[in-house]
Structure 1
Amino acid sequence: MHRTLLFLALLGSLLPLIASAADSKPNFVIIFADDQGYGDLGCFGSKKIKTPNIDRMAKEGRRFTNFMVASPVCTPSRAALLTGCYPKRVGLHQHVLFPQSTKGLNPNEHTIADHLKAEGYATACFGKWHLGHHPETLPRQNGFDVYFGIPYSNDMNHPDNKGKPRVPSDQLWRNQASAVELWKTPLIENEKIVEVPVDQRTVTRRYTDRAIDFISEHKDEPFFVYLPHSMPHIPLYVPEDAYDPDPQNAYTCVIEHIDTEVGRLMDTIRQLDLADNTYVIYTSDNGPWLQFKNHGGSAGPLRAGKGTTFEGGQRVPCVMWGPGRIPAGSQCDELVASIDILPTIATLVGSPLPQDRKIDGMDMSHQLTGAPRPTRDEYLHYTSRGQIEGIRVGNWKLLVKNQRQRNAKQNTKLPTPEVLLFDLDADVGEQNNLAASHPDVVQKLQTRMLELDAEIEANARAPWKKP
Structure 2
Amino acid sequence: MKKKTNIVFILTDDQGYWSLGSYGNKDIISPNLDKLAENGVRFENFFCVSPVCSPARASIFTGRIPSQHGVHDWLDEHHNDTVEYLKGQDTFVKVLSENGYNCCLSGKWHLGNSAEIQQGFDQWYVHEKGGGPYYNAPMYKDGVLTKEPKYITEATTDYGIEFIEKAAKEDAPFYLSLHYTAPHAPWGEEHHPKELLDLYKDCKFESCPREDYHPWKIRETFEGTEEERLAILRGYFGAITGVDLGVKKVVEKLEELGILEDTLIIFTSDNGMSMGHHGIFGKGNGTSPLNMYESSVKVPTIISHKNHISGGKVLESLYSHYDILPTILEYVGVEYTAPKPLPGKSFCNVLATGEEDLENDVVVFDEYGPVRMIRNREWKYIHRYPFGPHELYNLKDDPDERENLIDKEEYREKLQEMRMRLERWFVKYVNPEIDGAREPVFGAGQKGLAGVWGDGTTIYQRYHSDLIFTCDNLLKERDKNERVNKVN
* TM-score bucket of the superposed structures, by smaller chain: 0.7 to 0.9
Question: How far has the Cα of 1:151 moved from its partner?
Answer: 3.1
Answering whether residue 155 of structure 2 is matched by residue 155 of structure 1, we say no
Gaps of at least 5 residues in structure 2 are 202-230, 436-447, 457-488
1:111 is aligned to: 91
Structure 1 residue 225 corresponds to structure 2 residue 176: yes
Partner of 1:209: 158
Within-5 A mapping of 1:212-291 = 212-219=161-168, 220=170, 221-236=172-187, 237-239=191-193, 241-244=195-198, 247=231, 249-290=234-275
Query: Deviations 1:395-433 (Å, cap 9, x if unpaired)?
Result: 32111246xxxxxxxxxxx8x633322233443322343
Aligned-pair CA distance for 1:79:
0.3
Retained in 1: the 8 A contact 2:261–2:307? yes
Secondary structure of 1:65's aligned partner: strand
Distance change in 2, residues 1:125/1:33 (3 Å)? same
TM-score normalized by structure 1?
0.77
One-letter amino acid matched to 2:307: G
Do structure 1's residue 339 and structure 2's residue 322 form an aligned pair?
A: yes
Q: Which runs of 5+ in 1 are unaligned?
A: 1-19, 157-175, 403-413
Which whole-Å CA distance do the structure 2 matches of 1:316 and 1:110 have between them?
Answer: 24
Are the equivalent residues in 1 in contact too, given 2:361–2:376 (CA < 8 A)?
no
Residue equivalent to 1:129: 109
Structure 1 pair 224/297, CA: closer, same or farther in 2 (3 Å)?
same
CA 1:264–1:333 in 2, change beyond 3 Å: closer, same or farther?
same
With normalisation by structure 2, the TM-score equals: 0.74
Select the residue among 366, 371, 381 that pairs with 1:381. Answer: 366
Whether the 8 Å CA contact 1:187–1:194 is kept in 2: the answer is yes
Partners of 1:344 and 1:119 in 2: CA distance: 16
**Does residue 445 in structure 1 map to residue 418 in structure 2?**
yes
Q: Which residue of 1 aligns with 2:342?
A: 359
What is the RMSD of the two structures over their aligned residues, measured on CA atoms?
3.3
Change (3 A) 1:458 1:27: same
Secondary structure of the structure 1 residue equivalent to 2:76: coil
Aligned with 1:422 (options 380, 385, 393): 393
Note if contact 1:401-1:419 (Cα within 8 Å) is conserved in structure 2. yes
Q: Structure 2 CA distance, aligned partners of 1:298 and 1:56?
A: 27
Which deviates more, 329-338 or 386-395? 386-395
Q: 1:293 and 1:191 mapped to 2: Cα distance?
A: 42
Instruction: For 1:418 and 1:193, locate their aligned partners in 2 and report how far apart those are by CA, in whole Å.
Output: 45
- Equivalences, count: 398
Q: Provide the residue aligned with 1:166 in structure 2.
A: none
- Greater shift, 185-194 or 325-334, is seen at 185-194
Q: 1:330 to 1:32 in 2, by over 3 A?
A: same
Amino acid aligned to 2:70: G
1:190 maps to: 142
> 1:262-293 deviations in whole A, cap 9, x for unaligned?
10111111121212221111111111253699
Quote the offset at 1:134 in angstroms: 5.6
Q: Distance in 2 between matches of 1:388 and 1:359?
A: 20
Identify the residue that residue 142 of structure 1 maps to in structure 2.
Answer: 119
Q: After superposition, where does 1:285-434 map in structure 2 within 5 Å?
A: 285-290=270-275, 308-369=291-352, 370-372=354-356, 377-383=362-368, 386-401=369-384, 417-434=388-405
Match of 2:13 in 1: 34
Name the counterpart of 1:167: none
CA contact (8 A) 1:85 1:359 kept: yes
Deviation at 1:371, TM superposition (A): 3.7
Structure 1: how far apart are the matches of 2:361 and 2:257?
A: 36
Displacement, 1:380? 1.8
* Structure 1 residues 307 and 239: CA distance shift in structure 2, 3 A: farther
**Which of 22, 47, 63 is the equivalent residue of 1:43?**
22
